[in-house]
Structure 1
Amino acid sequence: MAKPASKAGKKSSEEVFAGFQALRAEQRQLASKISELEMDLNEHKIVLETLRGVEGSRRCFRLVGGVLLERTVEGALPELQANLSRLPAALAALHDQLARKGQAINDYIETHDIRLQRGAASAPAPDQPDQPAHPPKANVLVPSA
């Protein structure tokens, strides 16, 4: 009777794999968001550089949520500068979340005794051009029992 009780508390390999995949997906989403904000930061810097050399009463346009807004340069500059000053803090927070997510993945791997194996697929020989090239497998999750 002790064995069924211990198995009920233990996750199956499919559940462990699904949990691991979910953590990795969250990590990829964070990395994607960081990349997006870094691009926004660079775009804000470029636009601010450009607009600083322009007369303040000149019209400019800004796309916000799919809506094109008409502003003057002197009205748009403070908004852009405020956004630019907030972006580094947001990036720092996301980098911190990414580091915590990486630690959570490492803890999950240790807790469930997971081993990642790198697949090693060989490239087709040059004298056999008819065979399709198969990309090497990235990671294989192997739960140890």
Structure 2
Amino acid sequence: MASNSKKQDKKSEKSLAAEEIVNGFQTLRAEQRALSGKLSEFELDLNEHKMVIETLKNVNEDRKCFRLVGGVLTERKVKDVLPVLISNQEKLKEMIEIINEQIGKKGQEINEYREKHNIRFKGLENPKQEEQPLSSTESRGNVLVS
């Protein structure tokens, strides 16, 4: 009976380790998705800035315009608002570049994690590999994520 409980302990340790690997992988993917969401948000803001800047370039500098700042609508002149918008547009471009780099690094990190823990996706394996049965020693440490 003692040997039977040792086998069960080893199985539970392996399943716990597999769960931790899967959780780590899912965390990395969630971080990448969050970065992608931020990237989309900044790209939308950049497009809005471009549209407003193009519109204000064709308007008299002394004309009144309104700007929403932190939920408060403020009245300014075009000549005061346009430089700030252009500055913000440049900062947004820089942020987009930084986030693109971070997404690339996160993708590399995910790929390294997949290779390190031999993570495979259901449906993406080579069909020839699926036909070959795996021996019990070959299947240890592999994690299948669907």
Q: Normalising to structure 2: TM-score of the pair?
A: 0.71
Could you say which residue in structure 2 is the equivalent of 1:135?
A: none
Confirm or deny: 8 A CA contact 1:37 1:87 kept in the other structure.
yes
SS in 2 for 1:118: coil
1:9-44: CA deviations, max 9, x gaps?
x96111111111111111011111111111111111
Letter in 2 for 1:101: K
CA contact (8 A) 1:109 1:115 kept: yes
Higher helix share: 2
Between the aligned partners of 2:66 and 2:79, the Cα distance in structure 1 is 12
Which stretches in structure 2 are left out of the alignment for 5+ residues? 1-8, 125-141
Question: Which residue is equivalent to 2:31?
Answer: 26
Q: 2:111: which partner in 1? A: 106
| Deviation of 1:111 (Å) | 1.1
The one of 41, 49, 68 equivalent to 1:44 is: 49
Quick one: which amino acid aligns to residue 68 of structure 2? L
Displacement of 1:77 after TM fit?
A: 0.5
1:91 aligned to 2:96? yes
Task: Normalising by structure 1, report the TM-score.
Answer: 0.72
The RMSD of aligned alpha carbons is 2.8
CA contact (8 A) 1:112 1:143 kept: no
Alignment of 1:72 with 2:77, yes or no, is: yes
Which structure has the greater CA radius of gyration?
2
Return 5+ residue gaps in structure 1 as ranges: 120-140
Higher RCO by CA contacts (8 Å cutoff, separation 6 or greater):
2
